[in-house]
Structure 1
Amino acid sequence: MTKPTLPNTTSSSNQKLPSTAHSPVFRLRDMFKPSFDLWVISWILGLVTALSMITLLMVSGWFITGAALAGMIAVGSHSFNYMLPAGIIRMLAMARTAGRYGELMVSHNAVFDLLKTLRLRFFNRLAALPLVQQRNTLHASQYMHRLVSDIDKLDEFILRVISPWLIASVSLLLLAGFIGWALPLSATSKTIIYLLLLSALLLPLMASLKGIQSAKRLSQVSESRRQKLLAPLAIITQLLLWQQWQAQTKSYIAQDDRLQALEWSAQKLRSSYMLLIQWFFYAAVLVVLFSIYQLTDSSTSLTTGVDVPLVLAVTLGLLGIQEIVVPLGQHYLALGNSISAKDRLNALLQPSVSEAQANSTIPTDTETGLALPTGPLHANLTHVSAKIPGALVGAKEVSVRIDSGTPLIIKGPSGCGKSTLLQALAGELPVQSGEVKLNEQDWFAYNWQDQLGYLGQQLDIFDQTLAANLRLGKPQATEAELLSALDKVGLLTWLQAQPQGLQTPLGEYGAAISGGQARRVALARLLLKPRRVLLLDEPFAGLDNETRERVWDSVREHQKQGLLVVVSHHEWDMGQCDVLTLKENVFID
């Protein structure tokens, strides 16, 4: 694995943190940028659908009532125009169907485009973070689960907050205007109706604002429940054998009970909000009917100037618009879910204060750093300590000199910090104390670019062909160079037996080949081009004695002009090498 520019860990304690350390990575309003034109079209089509539905209901009621009254007043008369209302009804029905289909199609495309953009944005942001923070994030399953699930949850902000509120508000405003224009109501009656309609909007608005904290609590408890289940699941066989499953899952059951209680409470609130919104509309209907009743005289009810079909149309409109407004109460947690997802993503992709201080001098793409020396290299580690965050063991107080042409072999018992020391040199972990010098300059101040190769314990083998995996180390490598690299690691004979040759698929994580072959493929990728420093963690794992000695000779010859550091537990005559033996050390934070 080729390592990029490494961080400088010798920053002073009073150095100012980068301005981006506390700036938000993402804001909810950023969601409109990728496909704003699609969202506008979706909102227009949504309005067309909503207004067509309400108008269709109102015109149908008006048409049926008007036709019935025309028949009662003038039997056999052709004065009532049946054709125009019937045509309007057909047109509204087609507009409703077409609008709904168009809105679904456009909004789905907009959502998919939004999710694609968000995923690319956040994963690119993650890739640009310091290697230390990348490692902590990518190696924590709960963080990766949060990253994926929260990105998918962000679309609730548009689908269940912005779009429904926009359509409901405009529809309700137009209906209120129609009521004021069509019915000869008193100012008091109109005021009461408008207040009831306004309350039908204010209630879900206040519920959404109140639901922000509820959504955060639900999210926290849900994530805590998930984590408390994952731990015992990882050792379920042992727990069942020792009859400890019930004891070890008590905390999960408690969290599950708490989550169910919160969800039940949210469901009760959701039902209450929906019921109250409906009551506001029913109250508005009663006010309309009561006001009309007051205007009419029982003996002249058809001649007082009150248009009965319009009254029925308004009543049906108030009943029909509930289908648009009531879901605002049903999805009162959507705003809180979106804000919670946004906050978690920002927290996930921003370093904490301590991380920002540790990485405050990470070179950016525009910083060049020191140029690597052209002559022989020598590195000095002086009282270097490093460990994985939260670990009890690691490399402690390591002092050693590394010279060009003389490999350094690191040995020691398991847990003594061999791999951790390599990770620190590769820039994947911060150096806790001590200093690392290269030709008397700070190791991390150099612009390494692709001059540092690192083979870690976890291999980067992708579900591609052998050639594609190898060319990750040198994209322009010729077929001859690929064969030469494979020969150095003892895979040429194996390759010649493969029917597809260099086009042999390796499978995800190298599943199609053995562990030893996968490690040699990763090593061959590093040997495609000369690099000033090679850091190899157990490169001989899974190899027989003959193959191991052959690979070692090839690696040593390849790296005779540069620095070579190898972690290995194998014992054999490796020639002239420096050996560093580490002892197990316990860190007490």
Structure 2
Amino acid sequence: MKPLLPPLLAILRLWRPRFPALGAGILVSLVALASGLALLSLSGLRLAGSALGLLLASGLLLRGLGLGRVVLRYLERLMTHAATFQALADLRVWFFRRIAVSAAGGLGFRRTGDVLGRLVGDVEALDGLYLRLLVPLSGVLLTLPLLALVIGARSVSLALPVCLLFVAVALLLPWLAARASTRAGVPLAEAQSGLRVASLDLAAGLREIVAFGAGARIAEIVREREGRLLVAQHSLARNGAAAGAVSFLCGQAAVLLVLAAAIGFGLPRISGLAAVLSLFLLLACFESVSGLVRAGVLAGSMAQSARRVLEAGAATGPVAGPTPPVPQASMRPTPPADATLRLEDVGYRWSADRPPVFDGLSLAIPAGARVALLGPSGAGKSTLASLLLRVVAPQSGRITYGGVDVTGLDVAGLRRQIAWLSQSTHLFDDTIRANLLLAAPDADDAALWTALEQARIAEFVRSLPDQLDEWLGENGAGVSGGQGRRLALARTLLSPASVLILDEPCAGLDSDTERAFLSTLFEVAAGRTVILIAHRLTGVERLDRVWRLQQGRAVPAA
């Protein structure tokens, strides 16, 4: 069984910038708890005093405490939930940034459904770390000493077993429940991930499923994975039920002890008023920690979710280069004006258990040149694009831009000079305008229409009801493959980049559409360096040089 605390503590370290807001929420929760304890205890004294004809707590004080408790509880909910949402948002941003390093351009060997599950489901599960664990546990620091002082002042013999039962409910049982549920947390997280992956496959591949009549088989896979999830959830529920039952019995045992002391049965007798005060305070204290046992049951799945998020965020691939990183202060924010690219004896492999993608790759691409890199799948064409964009760094050799090693250039500045149009360029579920502005956030409408004209798609956009504000749909579902590719080209052309990397830009297009697209592309890319990465050439490209990638090296092609 993997340790429970390390992944949860690691998440808390990531939340360090939110500690002031998290701490303020805990402070307000303690004040609200103190108000609730005082209200219930004084209410008990007033009831007892009424029976004896005494006024032991004024109605005005009780009304003030009641109103204060309502306000404080509302403020507690407001502050703790706001702090939680901010912390979870920070965690999602951290996760996205980490995963983007290795997954940019489809590089991460990860399943989309699994990444989605970790980004949404696993991060969301961690809201209980603060709301269900830290906030109630901080209340124990108030309730346990108060319980010991108030009851101990009347009877030490009564205070000792009552406090031991309270410690069992507030600390021991949640810890034992967490350890027991850790085993159930692993299959639960795996089952949730598996169901998300299967469901995403079902939705994304619906056309293929219908075409091949595979609906029954795919539905059976979804049902089977849903069955695994139900089994894991039932196991966790059984742990929760058992821990809850023991917690309830401990609370009832504490109540029986107070009643026994009130009548002097087996314990030194205490007065009726002391018994009433102790009983009401006891009920309030036990109620304040009643959720901790349930939180302990969930802690196992929380720890597993934290572990999955941290593992995904840490698995960034071999990004670091062979040389020490250049200090940020010494980096050039603006790349040189000369856009000449050179790869000098570059070596790279994705992981130690995979063969090298490049072994001594050397290329020289002059500024303004039009070159092609050909090769079959797996030859390293997309990896080369990743190296040029500094998504990953070479493990041997170096890459220069304008004679300067790219490791000495600011990443953002370099990527403003190198634009990328891939075979799977994504169109977001948004307007045409928003998709285009991804490349140039400050572009005005005139610049957008110019790019659309250059990409030979402006006439189509003008024919749409909302033109630039037309909604494209998920993954550009509202346009054809050729139209979507031209919109992606327009987005690329909006970039001020001096170098255009075209990674299989015509994949999936028919031959006529492919020829028309490439003809347009090479026409509008005048004055820029064009690097075409493809399986083959169509004959319409006007190229200065062609290489073929073979066995990790570039060989001139005829």
TM-score, reference length from structure 2: 0.77
Following the alignment from structure 2 to structure 1, what is the Cα–Cα distance between the partners of residues 321 and 257? 62
Following the alignment from structure 1 to structure 2, what is the Cα–Cα distance between the partners of residues 126 and 209? 32
Pairing partner for 2:545 from 565, 573, 578: 578
Shift of 1:489: 0.8
Query: Corresponding residue for 1:494?
Result: 460
Change (3 A) 1:37 1:223: closer
Mapping for residues 404-483 of structure 1, pairs under 5 Å? 404-431=367-394, 436-438=399-401, 442-447=405-410, 448-483=414-449
Q: Deviations over 1:207-262 (max 9, x none)?
A: 33344434443332212223444566647957967969879988986786466445
2:20 is aligned with 1:51: no
Mapping for residues 22-421 of structure 1, pairs under 5 Å? 26-27=12-13, 30=16, 31-60=18-47, 62-67=48-53, 88=59, 92=62, 95-96=65-66, 99-100=69-70, 102-120=72-90, 122-124=92-94, 126-127=96-97, 131-132=101-102, 136=108, 140-171=112-143, 173-181=145-153, 183=154, 190-204=155-169, 205-229=171-195, 234=201, 257=231, 260-261=234-235, 263-290=237-264, 308-319=272-283, 321-333=285-297, 341-351=305-315, 355=318, 361=324, 366-369=329-332, 372-375=335-338, 377-380=340-343, 382=345, 384-386=347-349, 400-421=363-384
Following the alignment from structure 1 to structure 2, what is the Cα–Cα distance between the partners of residues 338 and 246? 29
Pairing partner for 1:551 from 520, 525, 542: 520
Contact conserved, 2:191 with 2:232, CA < 8 A, in 1? no
Shift of 1:579: 2.5
* Secondary structure of 2:460's aligned partner: helix
Following the alignment from structure 1 to structure 2, what is the Cα–Cα distance between the partners of residues 180 and 397? 79
Following the alignment from structure 2 to structure 1, what is the Cα–Cα distance between the partners of residues 216 and 469? 48
Contact conserved, 2:98 with 2:314, CA < 8 A, in 1? no
Q: Deviations over 1:326-368 (max 9, x none)?
A: 443343335656555555544443357x747658855575451
Contact conserved, 2:41 with 2:277, CA < 8 A, in 1? no
Contact conserved, 2:28 with 2:76, CA < 8 A, in 1? yes
Greater displacement, 374-383 / 402-411: 374-383
Q: Looking at CA atoms only, which structure, 1 or 2, has the larger radius of gyration?
A: 1
Following the alignment from structure 1 to structure 2, what is the Cα–Cα distance between the partners of residues 359 and 63? 80
Change (3 A) 1:273 1:363: farther
Change (3 A) 1:130 1:244: closer
Q: Which amino acid aligns with 1:118?
A: L
* Secondary structure of 2:539's aligned partner: coil
Contact conserved, 2:372 with 2:532, CA < 8 A, in 1? yes
Following the alignment from structure 2 to structure 1, what is the Cα–Cα distance between the partners of residues 432 and 483? 11
Shift of 1:524: 1.8
Change (3 A) 1:406 1:321: closer
Following the alignment from structure 1 to structure 2, what is the Cα–Cα distance between the partners of residues 58 and 129? 59
Q: Deviations over 1:511-566 (max 9, x none)?
A: 4333333332232222225423211123345472663254133344141xx35334
TM-score, reference length from structure 1: 0.73
Contact conserved, 2:162 with 2:257, CA < 8 A, in 1? no
Change (3 A) 1:216 1:95: same
Change (3 A) 1:176 1:422: closer
Q: Which amino acid aligns with 2:441?
A: P
Percent identical among aligned pairs is 19
2:537 is aligned with 1:565: no
Following the alignment from structure 2 to structure 1, what is the Cα–Cα distance between the partners of residues 226 and 462? 53
Cα root mean square deviation, aligned = 4.3
Q: Deviations over 1:293-334 (max 9, x none)?
A: 976xxxxxxxxxx85455444445445543334443343335
* Secondary structure of 2:442's aligned partner: coil
Q: Which amino acid aligns with 1:65?
A: A
Change (3 A) 1:449 1:355: closer
Shift of 1:196: 1.3
Q: Which runs of 5+ in 2 are unaligned?
A: 1-8, 553-558
Q: Which amino acid aligns with 2:62?
A: L
Following the alignment from structure 1 to structure 2, what is the Cα–Cα distance between the partners of residues 532 and 462? 25
Query: Corresponding residue for 1:11?
Result: none
Greater displacement, 108-117 / 138-147: 138-147
